[in-house]
Amino acid sequence: MTNQPAKPKDQNQNSFDSSSLVTIYVMGKAYQVPKNLTIMKAMEYAGYQFIRGCGCRGGFCGACGTVYRTKDSYKIKVGLACQTVIENDMYLTQIPFFPANKATYDVAKLEPTTQTLVRHYPEIMRCISCNSCTKICPQEIDVMGYVNAAIRGDCERVADLSFDCIMCGLCASRCPAEIVQYNVALLARRIVGAKIRPRAPHLRDRLRELETGECLPAVEELTRLGEQELSERYYDKKVRDIEPE
């Protein structure tokens, strides 16, 4: 076998070269770790077992927002711990939780007017266009841009700009106007999905067919077939033709 999959206990070992170590500081404390690891794997190497600050390990859940500085730099940087590779002399702290305001609403009763977002989140009007949110977003989203669109009441623009948001909360942690940008964006997307875009017409047709039971006999028939007969139909190009690309 050419690929020798690593044993679980070697998940970390297999991906580093322990001959070249770098120094990282986890909440101020120094550790020597192999270079090229992600922040998450480096902290585990150093002996931390995550409870908070680790979810999907793949850049989707926003649990692992990390703020860091490198030596002799005034700049604060951010990254997702599961995606960012460590550098020498990185001072790390994770922000796995940041208290956030969330409006509650019944989506079915929402009106998609230009006022809906402001009514639920009046604080967006306080945005001073400092752009701190955009600068910090690890997903490289134009956060200020969508907040401005929210102020204008342009839900579709908010939805489009914010679609890649993983709700890590880093933008809210930096906002001088105390806006929780990602919750505003979530409301906008739900309005677009539920209220602005037309419902799929073919879906209604199929639901009607299901209600009248029209689709049922064909399925019932298949449920009664044995493996052999099913296999014959499955491989029969006339019964199961493949829709062309």
Query: Is 54 one of the binding residues for another protein (CB under 8 A)?
Result: yes
Q: Please give the residue ranges that form the binding site for ligand SF4 (CB under 6 A).
A: 62, 127-133, 136-137, 139, 141, 143-144, 147, 165-171, 174-177, 179, 181-182
Cα 145 to Cα 169: distance, rounded to the nearest angstrom: 17
Query: Is 64 one of the binding residues for ligand FES (CB under 6 A)?
Result: yes
Query: Is 36 one of the binding residues for another protein (CB under 8 A)?
Result: yes
Q: How many CB atoms lie within 10 A of CB 20?
A: 9
> CB under 5 to 8 A by kind: which of another protein, ligand SF4, ligand FES, none does 119 bind?
none
Tokens coding 164: 């890649």
* DSSP one-letter code for 125: G
| Burial classification of residue 219, based on how many CB atoms lie within 10 Å of its CB (0-12 exposed, 13-18 middle, 19 or more buried) | exposed
Q: Least distance to another protein from the beta carbon of 128, Å?
A: 27
Strands across the sheet containing 77-80: 29-34, 21-26, 90-94, 65-70, 77-80
The three-state secondary structure class of 84 is: coil
> CB under 5 to 8 A by kind: which of another protein, ligand SF4, ligand FES, none does 3 bind?
another protein
Cα→Cα distances 203→162, 195, 206, 208, 218, Å: 27, 16, 5, 9, 19
Size of the site for another protein (CB under 8 A): 90
Question: Which of these ranges, 19-27, 123-131, 170-178, 234-242, lies near another protein under the rule CB under 8 A?
Answer: 234-242
The three-state secondary structure class of 73 is: coil
Q: Which is nearer to another protein, 108 or 129 (CB)?
A: 108
Query: Is 99 one of the binding residues for another protein (CB under 8 A)?
Result: no
Query: Is 230 one of the binding residues for ligand FES (CB under 6 A)?
Result: no
Q: Which is nearer to ligand SF4, 34 or 38 (CB)?
A: 38
Q: Which residues contact 184 (CB under 8 A, 6 or more apart)?
A: 117, 120, 121, 124, 146, 147, 150, 158
Query: Is 172 one of the binding residues for ligand FES (CB under 6 A)?
Result: no
Cα 134 to Cα 71: distance, rounded to the nearest angstrom: 24
Q: Least distance to another protein from the beta carbon of 47, Å?
A: 5
Query: Residue 206: in which H helix or E strand, if any?
Result: helix 201-212
Query: Is 56 one of the binding residues for ligand FES (CB under 6 A)?
Result: yes
Q: Least distance to ligand SF4 from the beta carbon of 63, Å?
A: 11
Enumerate residues 142-171 that contact ligand FES by CB under 6 A.
166
Please answer whether residues 187 and 117 qualify as being in contact, where contact means their C-beta atoms are separated by less than 8 angstroms.
Answer: yes
Query: Which position among 21, 46, 61, 103 is part of the footprint of ligand FES (CB under 6 A)?
Result: 61
Using CB under 6 A as the criterion, which residues of the chain lie in contact with ligand FES when the complex forms?
54-57, 59-64, 80-82, 166
